[in-house]
Amino acid sequence: MAAQEIKVPDIGDFDAVEVIEVLVAEGDTVEKEQALITLESDKATLEVPSTVAGKITELKISEGDNVSEGDVIAMVEAEDDSGSDDADDDDGDDDQAEGSDNESAEESEASGDDTPDGDDDPEDKEDAGEEQAKADDAGDGETVEVKVPDIGDFDAVEVIEVLVAEGDTVEKEQALITLESDKATLEVPSSAAGTLTELKIAEGDNVSEGDVIAMVQTAGGGSGAAESKSGDKAEKDTSSKDKSDKKSPGGSAQADDAKATPDEGKKKQPDSGTASQDDKPAPRADAGKPSEGLDKSKIQSVDEDRFGKAHASPSVRKFARELGADLGKIEGSGRKGRITEEDVQSYVKGALEQVQSGKSKAGAAAPAGGGGGVPTQPDIDFSQFGEVEITELARIRKISAKAVHKNWLLIPHVTQFDTADITEMEAFRQANKEKAKADGVKLTPLAFLLKASAAALKAFPDLNSSLTADGASLVHKKYVNIAVAVDTPGGLLMPVIKDVDKKGIYEIARDLDDVSARARDGKIKGSDMQGACFSISSLGGVGGTAFTPIVNSPEVGILGVSKHTMQPVWNGSEFEPRLILPLSFSYDHRVIDGAKAARITGFISEKLSDLRTLLL
């Protein structure tokens, strides 16, 4: 049978979408629904799956091409093609052999069950084939345990997404799972290339360094095993056929006829082109149109513009249309925010529950939050007031939102506002800026803020502490690590500068520049965002006069810095221009009281106003 065309399916409201990645090559064997290419529009990235399982005989596109619905991606020879041809050959051989088998029937009956010793060869070959298969499995490849690598100080980190499935072929360094802590999200790559034979974890599990994620059959072992199994199957079929021939007159013809019947049933499916593949998901064949059994008011309420722009695969789009679900209102839980079939099911289930109970989500029981009930966000359809656009939050922002909300609920915040005269500090920085640049150091005011804050943590031990879980004791830390807020394209990250108290200004500036660059490039490690005793959030490069930064639990304080301005300051005899830096110090009122907070900001102000005091 000729190879089948794999075309670009319904991809929503997009036209002439760029192919940014081709995931397969000519000669590859693909599974049904396996992604072949990745498309990227200005608002979404989506993968186009194969509609059949088989071997790719020709690729019609390449990276950089633009495609639209209906364009041919590749030619695939379906898996059943070779099997069908074999079945045809067998049928032909059976027809030719039928006469000779019938002619030899009497001779076979007369000979009875007495057979030469050589007739046992098929069984011997079968056993030998199985032994060879095992030997091939052992010799051609090996099964490798893929474990959780060093992920820093994290322990029992939750698996929020499994990116592969058993049977998938993975490359070395390909991401297998996504882990999420309270401050970072990281992907765990495969340490070997091959076929994933077993997954040891599932979404929702907690893992630590050294835990086994999956078993991977390295290249060679998987194909050898497959060939061995195919050989075993063929030998078993031959063996059983031969034994049937010997046991009964006309046995070969009868046995082959019996086999031909189911084989022909299987064989006829691929003969109809893609019909064999379309038969399986028959209930969704008309999913692109409203089905007769659906409430058409639901279909008409779907926002087609938002539906077309939703980040979902063609099969999920069909499924959503079948159920009358508006993809534009569904939050995707898949990789890169992709909407999955389970997301559609959950959305529809929630909508039905609301209708049946006559209550909205806002009327549901409020979850517990730090000992008190916190009302949930009401689900409001803002489109009733005018045109809207839904934009999903970036993953980092989702994570930080949860952490910020938890910290705001758990910690009784108070913010102390103060100022620091940094006229001399800025003059010193400007005087040494070019010299530092020649040494490869970017000398910023934040380096001086880190040094002054480190001195405050040493001078006020309670500032460098954390409450125990029961809130009855303080854990005083003998190290000084300070986190710095870094604005990245994906959201706010808090990398940590270690041992600030033991470093000079130049070394602090180098560390700061290094972690900030890696954070913006998405190369920051989980260990780089752990172990902070205190945090600094600087908006000096943006603007503002004051704000209330939120304490990062289990820390007990955070320093907010706003934009410095030149202001007139009375020196006792006249006003003189001075460079003033606003400080906003938020703290946990369970650990630090107002008087101590005022002394802390005064201390930091003093150090910044006169850098010589940092030497004392």
Q: What is the CATH number of the domain that holds 209?
A: 2.40.50.100
Do 460 and 336 sit in the same domain of this protein? Answer: no
H or E element at residue 194? strand 194-199
Instruction: Examine the domain organization and report whether 181 and 297 are in the same domain.
Output: no
Residues 326 and 471 in one domain: no
What is the per-residue burial (b if ≥16 Cβ within 10 Å, else e) of 247-257?
eebbbbbbbbe
Is 465 among the domain residues? yes
Q: Which domain holds residue 301?
A: 282-357+388-392
Residue 271 lies in a domain: no
Task: Indicate if 461 and 535 belong to the same structural domain.
Answer: yes
Domains held by the chain: number:
3
Q: Where are the alpha helices (DSSP H) in 365-422?
A: 395-410
Q: In terms of domains, do 145 and 216 share one?
A: yes
How far, in Å, are 350, 354, 359, 385, 409 from residue 379 at the CA level?
12, 11, 11, 14, 22
554 prior amide bond cis, ω within 30: yes
Residue 368 domain-assigned?
Answer: no
Whether 304 is covered by a domain: the verdict is yes
Of the two residues 356 and 227, the one the predictor is more confident about is 356
Q: Where are the beta strands (DSSP E) in 432-495?
A: 465-467, 474-476, 482-484, 486-488, 491-493
CATH number of domain containing 316: 4.10.320.10
Shared domain check, 598 and 453 = yes
> What pLDDT, on the 0 to 100 scale, is given for residue 223?
41
The question of whether 589 is a catalytic residue gets the answer: yes
Indicate which residue of 311, 405, 564, 589 is catalytic.
589
pLDDT digits (tens, 9 = 90+) for 251-270: 443 434 434 444 444 333 43
pLDDT tens digits, one per residue of 519-571:
888 888 888 999 999 999 999 888 899 999 999 999 999 999 999 999 999 99
- For residue 490, being part of any structural domain is answered with yes
608 and 485 share one domain: yes
Q: Which residues pair with 55 in a beta bridge?
A: 29, 77
Based on the fold, state whether residues 490 and 566 are members of the same structural domain. yes
- Tell whether 517 is covered by a domain: yes
**Does 476 or 125 have the greater pLDDT score?**
476
Same-domain check for residues 173 and 297: no
517 plus 451 within the same structural domain: yes
CB 34 within 8 A of CB 49: yes
Q: Does 109 fall in a domain?
A: no
Q: Is 457 found in the same domain as 594?
A: yes
Same domain (yes/no): 588, 504: yes
Identify the CATH number of the domain in which residue 565 sits: 3.30.559.10
Largest CA distance in the chain: 134
pLDDT in tens, 92-138: 444 444 444 444 444 444 444 444 444 445 444 445 444 444 444 44
Inside any domain, residue 177: yes
